[in-house]
Amino acid sequence: MSVVQTHSLLFLSKQDIEDLEGLRSDLYVTAVTRALELHARQETVQPLKPYLRVDEENGHIADRIIAMPAHVGGDVAMSGLKWIGSKHDNPQKRDKERASALIILNDPDSNYPVAVLEGSLISGMRTAAVTVIGAKHLARPGFGTVSVIGCGVIAKMQIVSLLEQFETIGKLYLFDLNAEASSRLAAEIGLRFPQVTIEIAETSERAVRAAEVLITATVASSPHIPYAWISRGTFISNISIMDLHKDVFLGADKVVVDDWDQANREKKTLHQLVQEGSFSRERLHAELGEIVAGDKPGREHADEIIVLNPMGMAIEDISSAAEVYKRALAQGKGTRLWM
């Protein structure tokens, strides 16, 4: 007896996702908070993500394709995969964004795909949500000054998400090696949030020293921010991973990661410290989900220097994409594809 294939899936373009309020932070803060709590309760499955590098010996650290599979449990269970490619010189050489991505969602009951989504928007916004969640637990209450190193697409998502979530922010410092990029971002942010004072810093040191919350959003392949520049009480969201010198990790009062196994690999700075015997799982303060779930404390003193070093987790993408998919079904968005 033959089985008639009548299965369909939903395709959601970047415009579809934007129409579903996919450029607003609330969706992602809710979805990522849920994913982190489930991660702390071990209600997720997340294999270590493989990196595909065509020229691993000589290529730039940002030149890779990553496969990120995950299953998120709980009330809205979903499985899936983010397939994300990146070339550091895409903006300059090809007039394209540095990273591109697709997210495939699979119904965990049958393992059939139910949706394919443009993934770069979701990926960038869920990364911004990680910073927001980190700031809620790890920054000083009522912080007013944010500094961002690197002024590309990801930086904009970080800034907008923080400004949407924290009304106390009144001063923004921007630094980029490309002065045009920082000027362009300052103009865009200034139009949308005229209440915020924006300074384009002449040096990265100026921006770093001024920060209560510091965000790294570069494609740096080697550290360039030393501990000596960090002011007491700073919360650092080290989303681009390679910007901080080793002494920042060793001098910080608390180091937090999203997932220890994911963070301790790929020859990143934290991994290097572990290999050298200078850092360990025991020295780590917590995984972010443990703090969100209330199992471990966040900030305890005003003068603590706290580093969040998130490698990025597939469960964040799948949880966020599942929320977008749920909204799309409810509002009739997207294009139906038949297999």
Q: 306-320: per-residue pLDDT in tens?
A: 999 999 999 999 999
The reply to whether 180 falls in a domain is yes
Torsion of CA 31, 37, 40, 43, to 10 degrees: -70
pLDDT, tens digit, for every residue of 59-118? 888 899 999 999 999 888 999 999 999 998 898 899 898 889 999 999 999 999 999 999
pLDDT of 5 reads 67
Does residue 232 form part of some domain?
yes
Q: Are residues 97 and 204 in the same domain?
A: no
d(CA 223, CA 6): 53
pLDDT 10s digits, 165-206? 999 999 999 999 999 999 999 999 999 999 999 999 999 999
Quick one: pLDDT at residue 3?
58
* 224-235 mean pLDDT: 98
Q: Which of 49, 82, 87, 254 is catalytic?
A: 82
Average confidence score pLDDT of the chain: 95
Q: What is the CATH number of the domain that holds 16?
A: 3.30.1780.10
Closest C-alpha among 139, 223, 209 to residue 175: 209
What is residue 267's predicted lDDT score, i.e. its pLDDT? 83
Q: Is residue 67 domain-shared with residue 103, that is, in the same domain?
A: yes
Q: 103 and 157 share a domain?
A: no
Please tell me whether residues 228 and 277 are part of one structural domain.
yes
Residue 55: the pLDDT is: 87
Same domain, 85 and 156: no
**Would you place residue 2 in the very low, low, confident or very high pLDDT band (cuts 50, 70, 90)?**
low
Q: What is the pLDDT of residue 4?
A: 60
How far is CA 259 from each of CA 38, 52, 58, 89, 304, rounded to the nearest angstrom?
12, 21, 28, 29, 22
Residue 63 lies in a domain: yes
Residue 82 known to be catalytic: yes
Residue ranges making up the domain that contains 241: 140-312
Domain count, the chain: 2
